[in-house]
Amino acid sequence: MPDISIPAKPSLPADDGVPMPQRMWAILTIALGLTLAVLDGGIANVALPTIAREVNTSPANSIWVVNAYQLAVTISLLPLSSLGEIYGYRRIYQAGLVLFTLASLACALSSSLPTLIIARMLQGFGAAGIMSVNSALIRFIYPRRWLGRGVGLNATVGSIASALGPSVAAAILAVAPWPWLFAVNVPLGILAVVIALRTLPLTPRSGIKFDIGSAALQAVAFGTLLFGVSEMGHGDSWVHVGIELVIAAVSGFVLVVRQLSRTAPLLPVDLLRIPLFALSVASSICSFIAQSVAQVSMPFLFQHRFELDQVTTGLLMTPWPLVVAVIAPFAGRLADKYPAGLLGGCGMAVMTLGLLAMGLLPDHPTTFDIIWRVTVCGIGFGFFNTPNNRAIITSAPPIRTGGASGMQATARLLGQSMGAALVALVFTAFPHNGTTVALFIATGAAAVAACVSFSRLAA
């Protein structure tokens, strides 16, 4: 029988990954942590009306239960990836798991909105610890020849967790009050921590000092950028939006200037000088803008224009993440053999066609008319995402894997946040046909991602 016992202690990775069964257990804890972090990014959405009622707050204020988590993740990804390079990715991942688990317990025990928001921010910092070094650890867990498979498996886990989020939330709320949305994380988190302590590999350390000033600057830059874009999309005062965007621009400029003289900068400007890395990050941002615009606007298209109910809407949107989950491992194997520029460019071209077809839906579509379009979008994104993530990680030197991992996650979050804000802005500007306009914008963003991806063939 194969040895499935958990190793007594972690080991340094070999030149080409870690041995079995350590690799299997390390993969399991990576999958558990990612599942928890992705699920909790959106699992609270379903319960917001109930939470608002039970903690005696307005629906508008309850949105902070979601925003606090997302903001904490966004502003801490790069600092935590930098800390991973300094102190070891294993330590940051384990600390993230511990904080996430304790914060989940605090969320479950919260009885007021302020305490819940604080607990959700701590949970977001824990999730950032998990996501910031997730891809970096994969590089040291898998043999290089199987790295694409590892990235593909990671994408599969993330896609399944994203697809199951609303269903898991609905199932829990059907039998238990909302605190159980967070309480269920505690036993899974403890299990993940125990396995992580025993199996995650030790990794090289950079030996540099942590740049506190740069961490503060990037938090201000990304935080005010996200607030400004979000408020612009929701029709807030242009004065407030302008002030926030100016603060973001100034702090971002100062941050970039500060990073130019650093040997291992927190904002990886050194990696952005590598054409393959820079183009992969750019195509990632464009692809997630396209995905976010489409997935935020499609429910309004289905329910407002086609007058479908919420259950049907959810079922019609499910093929996208499920197809990504099926395609990702296959795309990962191809990424070990073929250039990311070719695979990603073809994938984004397919997604462009799917989004264009979605925007051209007739007034009375059949179920098949919708499903095949959604499926095509999922196929295209599935063939893009895994090879692109692999290119971001492998184009960086091994000692800078943490910076690459943090930048990969940051690109995804920026794209998703900007896409959601764009939808709100379009709906305000085009009250009658906003969903169609949004889908055409998503088509354009996907086409740009395809062009940028193909350009990597010459990099």
pLDDT category at 444 given cuts 50, 70, 90 is very high
**CA 312, CA 350: separation in Å to the nearest integer?**
25
At 421, list the tokens: 């804000």
In the block, residue with structure tokens 């949107």: 317
**Range 273-301 average pLDDT:** 90
**Range 328-334 average pLDDT:** 84
Alpha helices in 176-274 (DSSP H): 180-183, 185-199, 212-233, 238-259, 269-272
Q: For residue 17, what is the DSSP state?
A: B
- pLDDT for the residue 451: 96
- The CATH number given to 1-208 is 1.20.1250.20
CATH number belonging to the domain at 268-459, selected among 2.40.50.140, 2.102.10.10, 1.20.1250.20, 3.30.300.100: 1.20.1250.20
pLDDT category at 2 given cuts 50, 70, 90 is very low
Query: How confident is the model over 213-251, as pLDDT tens digits?
Result: 888 988 898 888 877 777 766 566 778 888 888 998 999
Query: How confident is the model over 149-180, as pLDDT tens digits?
Result: 777 777 777 767 776 776 777 778 778 888 89
SS3 label, residue 14 = strand
Taking 80 as the threshold, does the pLDDT of residue 330 lie above it? yes
- pLDDT for the residue 452: 95
In the block, residue with structure tokens 């801490």: 76
